[in-house]
Structure 1
Amino acid sequence: MIGRTGRALGYLALGAPVAILALAWTLVSSILLLLLAPTQLAPRALLGATVVSRSLARFERWRLGWYSGRPVAVPYQPTVAGPVRVRAAAVFREPATRRDAGWLATLFPLALPSMLLALVPTLLAVGLATAPAWLWAVPNPNAPELVAPIVGTWPGRAAAAVLGLALAPLAARWVLTLARGQAGLARLLLRPDDRQQLTALAARLATTRARVVDAQAAELRRIERDLHDGAQARIVAAGMTLALADRKLRGRPDDPVRADVELARRQLDGALAELRHLVRGAHPPILTDRGLSAALGALIADSPLPVDLRVPDDTSVPPAVEAAAYFVVSEALTNAAKHAGAQRCEVTLAGTAGGGLTVQVRDDGRGGADPAGAGLDGLRRRVEALDGILSVQSPAGGPTVVSAEFPCAS
């Protein structure tokens, strides 16, 4: 209780000199801006006045954070590049500028009375509570009859101390109430508004999600390397060992062990094929080693359909976008070959004006693809995890066009 009350007193007392400075600056800057408004110096004067006002507002946010223990976020938008007039207009339109001015104008009529209303009862309670320690040293020969016993006798001073101790909790509660009221109004004006808070939250969520997606892509690449360099290499070595054993057993065609060795080789070959398929599904090695263009080229080479590939010279995009684009093309080609009865496909990659990447897969099949189907819905979730957009156009009779757009300027 004592610590909170002391912090509240410090908060209210520190507001008084800031209020005087804020009032003086508000008057000076307002007069200066009114005089310079018709001149060419108005934008520069507005920018200069805003710098000082924001410095005072930043100190107020620090004072509020020190008192409440909760820092106040800075609500200012990034500085707009361009001529002085453009920057001044952007600063003037910013809501935080007007809210700062409102708080600085409100501070003087609010802070000084709050300080006085807090200090007077506090000093009275402290003075009465400590009366036996100092009241004896105050000469008061002309004290009124009602006050003389309190000033001149030890029982009176003890009674004053009891009264002061009784008033102390009430004074502390009063001080805390004043501080909470001033702090509440300050936080209302100095914090970011609801729109800015939502924007900041969305930016933090987007950053966090991007980190999760990148970490997931890195983990998939690690798993692919471990499978490729570890388990797959050991399976190949075991297959070579079985091949050597089978060669040694060729001279004994009736030996039942040879049939077991051949069966083990076939099972091992099947396991190796499944493992390679798993590795390609997790993250194709060629995508890591040679990039998106080479990976798509290898994918198209294995496709049962003839595919025309159009890729720009520069396809440098983040790894997560590379993986998502690769799997969009892979799933679309698989669907075209298995379900659409297509005879030919076209795969086109292109950059966007904002630095993103668009992927389009077009086939000449029968159409009628269900955008809500399991395969396409899974692709949509993967694309949307990167803030991308997946669209499917598949009228009955075809053609089917699967398009994905990824923003990857960052």
Structure 2
Amino acid sequence: MLGAAIIMVNILIFSYNIFKTVLSKDHDGSYTVGQFLRAAFGIPRLMKLFGKEDKGAVNLDYNGMPVFIVAVARGSIDTVINAVVLLAAGVLILVYGVFALLGHPLNPGAVDALLYKNLYWWGLDMVADGNVLIYTAGVWYLLVPLLTGRKLFGANVVKTVIMVDLLVSMGVWSHHLLGDTSQPMWMRLFSGQLITWGEIFTMGLTLFATLMTIWKARPVKMSPPLQFTLGSMFGFVMGAMAGILQANVGLNVVLHNTQWVIGLHAHALLLTGVGTMLFSVIYTLVPMLTHLEFKFKKLVDWHFWLWMIGSVGMAMAMGMAGSKGMLRRTLYTGGEFTPYTLAAIIFGSILSIGFIIFVVNLVSTLGLKNVFSLVIPEKWQKSTEKV
């Protein structure tokens, strides 16, 4: 718990640094948090549509504010909420643990269990909505225009969609409690199912705007960064659809706490979605920052296809096992799920080979010395050079 608390504090420091940078007063055009968020999410434009004027708006070029910055701001809001809630939960557990070790255990009934679970999942779900979904979408908003040389399609509308998604993300946490019979049914239906389904529209519009940008830029060169960006989108569609299916009061009875949740939903989002997105960033930034092209171009293709086949295959195998009733955190010795676990191991191995190929290509391009210099403190490097 102490380690988790330290991590949350570091996340808060990171988020503070993000907002401090964006709201820097080192220039004449400084503005408050509220003014920035109103401009970023397009509130003045929305008010203008209804014949009203936002008198609190500053001289901030809303139309010129990059969508990427708006996405980072929105994701950082979720990140702060996540860090504060999980930090509080971790400290609470730590306090109970310390008193128990000292021989003076506290009354566990002093904290309402259902209230605690709702607050915990409200905060934890911000990881998915702020860190996974919106930060990834922000990267798409940045990379696709950069790679295609075309402005993001519907950029101004996208900024408002980001605001709507922020509001939606505040009310979806109850899908984690669909299988909890103590959770009121109206909460499971309203928050866990109906509001969660709202993310189909917000993330759907995100994908539409990004893909339309690529379509409008035809013909486009299928460069490695663009290839991995499209793979990332596929992973999000796959993982999100699995999540929407399980965000159903009826289906959740079957899928809750099974390998479907962790495999077809979580692994597809994190490996095929976020992981592939990170590779697209690396394949973009390395040539930009170092002026070096990746040494083995064929290995880039091998990396892409092995990673995609491995991550999708492993997620599908785990998801199919879950649909047949294979639970998480459960050891099965009867062999009833052996075909699925064997398939997951094979596809996981393919995924690993793809990652090893990526590392070999990256180290060969940058040089082993330069790679080590990224993690070795500069003063140590200088002392080694003197010797």
Instruction: Place the TM-score, normalised by the shorter chain, in its bin.
Output: under 0.3
Q: TM-score scaled by structure 1?
A: 0.21
- Larger radius of gyration between Structure 1 and Structure 2: 1
Structure with more contact order per residue of length (Cα contacts < 8 Å, sep ≥ 6):
2
Higher helix share: 2
